Amino acid sequence: MTNDRVKFISTTFLKEYSPLSKNIDDDLLIPFIYRSQDINLQTILGSDFFDRLKEGVINNDLNSDEENLIRNYIQNMVAEWTIYYSLPTLNFKLTNKSVTQDRSEFGDPSGLDEIKYLRQNVRDMAEFYSKRLVKYLVDYGTQLFPEYRQTNSKENLNRNSKSYFNGIYIPKRGPQDFVSRSYNDPTEGDDYCYDC
């Protein structure tokens, strides 16, 4: 088993945790587990800590704090993002001839509007679990996990403490232009930053 092929959740966990049907082929879900870990989890943890957790799973040498982090924070988040990424393709099949939509004698495939609505609900849950993980790491990360503090590696993907994206991007400007407000944590009311 290589370091790249570590999954923090199994397809069994995913199906038990979520309303996904038990008869969905595992091969359809596995790529999205990797995608959610690479895109969402690695961004929060940073590459060094992300790699440490993967190596800990391979070598079976996770300490109790790391196991707690994975079981109580990471697994729920990865499951929600996996569902989010998999939703569009569960309704469609990509073949060498075309993109097809499955039909069943017991039900009709969902339309694009229904999939968008369902996907937005799953995204809301995924962002909640992401925020929960970020909050835990902000509170305890530097004390419990030495690799979380490391950001000096050239190959390290810097960790990001932002877990929500509202679809609007406002570029930051220097202090000579105006005072920009930091929206890292919506619960912090008067948090201004000058060199953001």
| Mean pLDDT value across the chain | 79
The pLDDT, as a whole number, for residue 6 is 94
**pTM of the shown model:** 0.73
N-term to C-term CA, the chain: 41
User: Where on the phi/psi map is residue 137: left (φ > 0), alpha (ψ -120 to 50), or beta?
Assistant: alpha
Closest CA to 126 of 18, 15, 6: 18
Name the DSSP class of 18: S
Is pLDDT of 69 > 80? yes
The pLDDT, as a whole number, for residue 115 is 82
105: Cα separation from own chain's centroid: 35
Question: Which are the contacts of 182, defined by CB distance < 8 A and separation ≥ 6?
Answer: 188, 191, 192, 193, 196
The pLDDT, as a whole number, for residue 51 is 92
